[in-house]
A and B are shown apart, each in its own frame.
Chain A
Amino acid sequence: MAAVEKIFNDTITDRETQDKTLKWVGTRAPRPDGVDKVTGRAKFGADTYLPNMLYGKVLRSPHAHARIRSIDMSRALALPGVKAGVTRDDFPDYPAGAVQPAGEMVINYRDMTRNIMAREKALYEGHAVAAVAAVNERVARQALSLIEVDYEVLPHVIDVEEAMKPGAPLVREDLITEGVEPAPEEPSNIAKRVEFGHGDLDLGFSKADVIIERSFKTQPVHQGYIEPHACLASFSEDGQAELWCSTQGHYVARGHCAKLLQMDVSKLRVTCSEIGGGFGGKTVVYLEPLALALSRKACQPVKMVMTRDEVFRASGPTSGASMDVRIGATKDGRITAGEAVLKFQAGAFGGSPVPAAAQCAFAPYDLDNVKTIGFDVLCNRPKVAAYRAPGAPLGEYAVESVVDELAKTLEIDPLEFRLKNAAKEGSDSSYGPKFGPIGCVETLETAQNHDHYLSTLKPGQGRGVASGYWFNIGGQTSATLNLCEDGSVALVVGTPDIGGSRASLTMMAAESLGVELDKVRPLIGDTSALGYNMLTGGSRVTFAGGIAVHGAAEDMIKQLRERAAATWDVPIDDVEWHGGQAVAVNGYKDQEDPMGLLDIAKDMAKSGGPIVGRCSTNAQGAGPSFGCHIVDVDVDKETGKVSVARYTVIQDAGKAVHPSYVEGQYQGGAVQGIGWALNEEYIYDENGKVENAGFLDYRVPVCSDVPMIDTVIVEVPNPTHPYGVRGVGETPLVPPLAAISNAVENALDIRFTELPMSPPRVLAAIESVG
């Protein structure tokens, strides 16, 4: 009983300093979509059905790399119950230059049309080659078995270093590396080279007393969302279409689908379902354009749902990487130079997160001399999709491992070493811009003073720490507040709610309007309901959505003041909005009874018609978020099994609008990191086929694998946001890989440079040192 009470004190007692001027922001209010989600009522991607609906299935390449000589659909289409089939011939081609930024990635339609449906070649096992729609799933599956594809199997390449070697099988025969002057004459798998940094590395290393250089290798991993990709498309004979799908961005999905189907964007209306996890993996389209194309042919609704096997083989993994890091420091612990070369698997098309990895790798440090070089490398895997702080966990795994080794070599406490070199306001970031107000030092100092860091380890245990950084983004966002005739307010936003954003956006709306929280009811509008919204990603929704919601509230308040002023027949400047009411001020003070939302709403028709607060913005000034993690591990030296005994996440949130969901982001990120560090990896056979395309052998952490994850929310406000918000969702996945590796080193005195630190790898290392 005592233990239980202790646990709850952590949750129920707000550890954050409560800003007394705020009524809702900073509280643990109920989430508006909560009851739907605990009763099974909430509709996720696969939960929608329409009359006369067909089921679509995808035929996927069994080969990692193969030229497609021909596809014969005739037998499949002749099967009774099959209503439509599509192949590469049903989608337009686009030239190589058709690029468009979207979220944290850049979209290239030449590649996207090839990713959703193979054209000249199948580029990875699981690559879509054809799709059919039939009256039920059984008939659809049977139809797939009747499609005849003539493949010419080609040599394949998976590993990033193998793919970079001269003579490696070319994923794209005409690919000339970007970012190299002069441009190479020969094609290769290297899509792009990027470089960031400043200062003079030679000079920096010449000042170092100690230089440590290490090479790291990581295996590719998957986002592992529990809900498989799913959608339902309905095209009507007049060329208009509706699409329901599980996506992180229904506006983005609409744009992609319209482009891939060559239709007007306005003719496609997309509704986002509830989304069962995404972590970046649902920022792109896979099934959606296929379902639309099938529905267009069949003139019936078409539902498509991936199996878990398809999710692993054909959707959004992130890169495996090879990385070289060299860092020099003086005896008193000042880093003089840092250099990293990062090579990332992009998958079948360019666009790995290596640029972001290169930018984030040294971001926690204030360095005079720093350079990071990144290579974006094609291989026969699905094109990588964003995964929570895309790229940053890998780059910082390598850098934070070497930083730890330097601290140990110099006999300086690892947090002290980091503090001596920490980035702060005014520091030139390692990738260019000067930092504004940031919480890097604050997170490190909080870690130093945390009970976890001050506690004594049990025999055999090891402790590790690591810092992490993510930029966070803003972007195009719209929000509308509709005043209802009874004074309640309908909030419409356009960003799918992936983890509680209805709650945080509603809280900010109520705060800005000065009304009771339960008077504001949120809705995620479809693409016809609002102006454009960028996707839910980049930790942008509470930041950019907050700006939009606050802007909509200000717009509504202006109208409310106008209506009150007109009712009272006083100048608008003599009406202010306080505590959810219009109040006459200045010369009219106390002459009129304040008017609340209900008072104004009930006479809306007479005072000028409906009151709608709107804001459409391209939010800028996202505040970066720094984190520091502390982890203790146990290692079974006879089996090589590493267990996490204690874990603490400390991170700057700017301002935690809903602390419970901020903590949830910290905890979830840490546990994903534990999986990445210890067990998660794609395993390929000699033919480039995935051997572990399921939750049985792709081992995400289960409940019994992990301890409670303690959290500390540091709040260094972001001055560009009305409530000081920074994005929080991605940074939590940045430090764990290094923190855990550093803890294992501390326990065993063995530095691991490969992930995952799975039991066979750990035991082999223990045995090799005797």
Chain B
Amino acid sequence: MTREHITTTINGDPVEFLCDAEQTLLDVLRDELRLTGSKEGCASGDCGACSVTLDGRLVCACLVLAAEVEGHEVTTIEGMAVGDQLHPLQQKFLDHAALQCGVCTPGFLVAAKALLDRNSNPTETEVRFWLAGNLCRCTGYDKIVRAVLDTAAEMRG
């Protein structure tokens, strides 16, 4: 079987990899590149645990073929903190105890960042609907929504 040779940008860095045509972006991130911060919860786009951005658009990495990212830009949870500086969302998730088991947390953070990049002042309802594709079974969402609203307020200054 011939493998696809893909050249792309991940978290700002040039990356090349080989993949099978069937492999998803999530498969490659995890199994080939060992960027395991993106989680597989369902492999059908129903849980959001593998949320990444593709050219700035929030997507589920399980619903993108790895070969599709040729020439595009991918960002994952591993690209969120800058050096030892956590993104304000990451810090607020900690401050608000917006995680219990933590497996959904990378997906929520990537999704929430995509929201705040577009809308610096979302309402609670906007936050809830934006994040409806990210399942959390531990927290009941309360502290996650609070953390996102608080981050937005802080980032607005």
Contact = CB atoms under 8 A, between A and B. Distances in A.
User: Do chains A and B make direct contact within the complex (CB under 8 angstroms)?
Assistant: yes
Interface string B84-126: 0010001001111101111111100100000000000000110
B47 A35 contact: no
Given A279-B137, A703-B128, 8 more contacts: A226-B136, A227-B41, A228-B40, A276-B104, A307-B43, A664-B140, A696-B44, A704-B125
Given A35-B86, A704-B128, A275 B101 contact: yes
B141 interface: yes
B101 A708 contact: no
B36 interface: yes
B17 to A, nearest CB: 15
15 contacts: A33-B102, A39-B86, A40-B76, A43-B36, A46-B30, A226-B47, A226-B103, A277-B138, A308-B44, A499-B101, A663-B143, A668-B100, A668-B139, A695-B44, A696-B46
Contacts of B153: 1, 4
Contact of B47 (A1, A695, A708, A709): A695
A277 B103 contact: yes
Interface string A638-662: 0000000000000000000010110
Given A44-B39, A226-B47, A704-B128, A11 B96 contact: yes
Given A38-B99, A39-B81, A277-B101, A664 B39 contact: no
B134 interface: yes
B46 to A, nearest CB: 4
Interface in B22-41: 22, 30-31, 34-41
Given A47-B36, A696-B46, A499 B138 contact: yes
Contacts of A498: 100-101
Interface in B61-96: 76-78, 80-81, 86, 90, 93-96
B10 interface: no
Contacts of A307: 43
A7 B137 contact: no
A427 interface: no
A28 B95 CA distance: 8
A352 interface: no
Nearest to A40: B37
A138 interface: yes
A308 B137 contact: no
B43 A224 contact: no
Contacts of B144: 703
Given A277-B103, A498-B101, A661-B97, A695 B42 contact: yes
A28 B96 CA distance: 9
Interface residues of B, number: 63
B140 A499 contact: no
Interface string B135-155: 111111111111001100100
Contact of B100 (A43, A500, A704): A500
Contacts of A658: 97
From DSSP, what is the main secondary structure of chain A's interface residues? Answer: loop
A226 B37 contact: no
Most buried by B among A7, A38, A39, A704: A38
Interface string A697-713: 00011111010110000
A284 B22 CA distance: 33
Most buried by B among A33, A41, A276: A276
A664 B97 CA distance: 8
A377 B94 CA distance: 44
A498 B101 CA distance: 5
Contact of A500 (B36, B97, B133, B146): B97
A190 to B, nearest CB: 33
Contact of A703 (B43, B96, B103, B132): B132
Contacts of A47: 30, 36
A34 B43 contact: no
Nearest to A43: B36
A695 B101 contact: no
Nearest to A711: B142
B27 to A, nearest CB: 9
A769 interface: no
Nearest to B76: A40
B13 to A, nearest CB: 15
Given A308-B42, A700-B135, A227 B99 contact: no
Most buried by A among B31, B78, B137: B137
Nearest to A49: B34
Given A4-B149, A31-B94, A44-B39, A664 B34 contact: no
Interface of B: 20, 22, 30-31, 34-44, 46-47, 49, 76-78, 80-81, 86, 90, 93-97, 99-106, 109, 124-125, 127-129, 131-146, 149-150, 153
Contacts of A1: 153
Contacts of A43: 36
Nearest to A30: B94
B94 A667 contact: no
Nearest to A496: B101
B149 A38 contact: no
B50 to A, nearest CB: 11
A490 to B, nearest CB: 22
Interface string A674-699: 00000000000000000000111000
Nearest to B38: A40
Nearest to A665: B100
A764 B58 CA distance: 40
A667 B141 CA distance: 8
A35 B139 CA distance: 18
B36 A38 contact: no
A34 B146 CA distance: 17
B43 A671 contact: no
Nearest to A649: B140
A426 B116 CA distance: 54
Given A499-B100, A672-B137, A703-B134, A41 B37 contact: yes
Contacts of A227: 39, 41, 101, 103
A3 interface: yes
Contacts of B134: 703
A676 B40 CA distance: 24
B131 A703 contact: yes
A742 B146 CA distance: 29
A664 B95 CA distance: 13
A42 interface: yes
A157 interface: no
B2 to A, nearest CB: 14
B137 A664 contact: no
Nearest to B23: A138
Contacts of A695: 41-42, 44, 46-47, 135
A660 B94 contact: no
Nearest to A658: B97
Contacts of A660: 96-97, 143
A667 B142 contact: yes
Interface in A303-317: 305, 307-308
Given A4-B150, A660-B97, A704 B132 contact: yes
Contacts of A667: 139-143
B43 to A, nearest CB: 6
